[in-house]
Amino acid sequence: MSCHLVLGDFAADILRELLGPYADIRIHRDDLALGPLGDIDHVYPAARIQFWNEVFPLSSFDFSDVLPAGNAQLAALPQDLTLWIGTSCGEALLLRRLAWWRNQTGQNFKLIIPDTSGVVSYIAGQVPLSLLRPEQIESANSELVPLAQLQKLAQEWQTLCQQTSMFRGWNGQTFQHLGETVLDAEMLALITDNYLPCRQIAGLWIQASKDFFRSDVLAMWRLRCLAAQGLIEMESHPDQHDLFAFKVRKNFIK
């Protein structure tokens, strides 16, 4: 029985509509655009686990289990494997990561990239599989990745893992390496002298992305970090865990 790999639960839902409830669909859940990659393929990626615990401290996931399990998943994928991806940064990274894992074991895989023309996305040129409808992807062709391309993609993944940048963007051809400073500058530009809801700031910051798909969780992490640096003030609220209930403004330096 053939196996199908996608990035994220929403993409799996779309594929399940197309292939049926009994299809063998495996879900990769790590957002590869974020965080350190230096130890990501280790049995226990300690640096990456620490990163996700800082970004998402209230997650229902135990990252010390989830991330090693993701690596075990990649190592155990069957011979008959098809990767389904769109054109997002995370999917471009998963393509290269999977190529590295398969190249290590002398295995290959089939690749399906549906036509995303005409699909609206807030990042120009990036349309994840999760934004497509089943009828938009059912005509896509499956092709075995040529050996030379497999090796090239695997080498690109190795190069990416050697970079020290914490964030990665994608323009359809090459990856950009971004630091926290760039993201924080965009966030600070949205914050005024008057209190504004964190949800409003986060929404604007997410929509402004040109590099990778941002999330509420990432936005709130950066707001917490800016507050810890004394660059912004967060209005207190009885529920300290519901950070979207907070409001923020620029910090007045005395």
Per-residue confidence (pLDDT) for residue 11, from 0 to 100? 96
pLDDT tens figures, 11-38: 999 999 999 989 999 999 999 999 999 9
pLDDT at 239: 57
Give the CATH number of the domain where residue 221 resides: 1.10.10
DSSP 160-228: HHH---SEEEE-SS-EEEE-HHHHHHHHHHH--SS-EEHHHHHHHHHHT-SSS---HHHHHHHHHHHHH
Same domain membership, residue 14 and residue 127: yes
Dihedral angle over CA of 41, 43, 47, 53, nearest 10: 110
pLDDT band at 245 (very low <50, low <70, confident <90, very high): confident
Q: Is the pLDDT of residue 244 over 80?
A: no
pLDDT over 60 (residue 238):
no
Task: Give the pLDDT confidence score for residue 246 in this predicted structure.
Answer: 86
Q: According to the model, what pLDDT value does residue 118 have?
A: 86
Q: Which of 144, 170, 196 is the last residue of a domain?
A: 170
User: What is the structure's pLDDT at 234?
Assistant: 86
Same domain membership, residue 164 and residue 196: no
According to the model, what pLDDT value does residue 175 have?
96
Together in a domain, 155 and 183: no
pLDDT for residue 166? 94
The total of structural domains in the chain comes to 2
CA atoms of 60 and 56, how far apart (whole Å) = 9
**pLDDT tens for residues 199-237?**
999 999 999 999 999 999 999 999 999 999 999 998 866
145, 183: one domain: no
Instruction: Note the pTM of the prediction, 2 decimals.
Output: 0.94
Same domain, 24 and 84: yes
Domain boundary (135, 170, 205) is at: 170
Residue 155 tokens read as 């080498």
Closest CA to 84 of 20, 8, 33: 8
- 242 has pLDDT over 80: no
137-171: per-residue pLDDT in tens? 988 999 999 999 999 999 999 999 999 999 999 99
Percent pLDDT > 70 in the chain is 96
Average pLDDT of the chain is 92
pLDDT greater than 70 at residue 83: yes
DSSP tag of 69 = H
Spell out where the chain has E strands: 3-7, 24-28, 81-84, 110-112, 143-144, 167-170, 175-178, 196-197, 232-234, 247-250
210: containing domain: 179-250
- Under the banding of pLDDT at 50, 70 and 90, the label for residue 61 is confident
| pLDDT given for residue 73 in this prediction | 94
pLDDT of residue 16: 94
Query: Is residue 240 over pLDDT 60?
Result: no
140 and 98, same domain (yes or no): yes
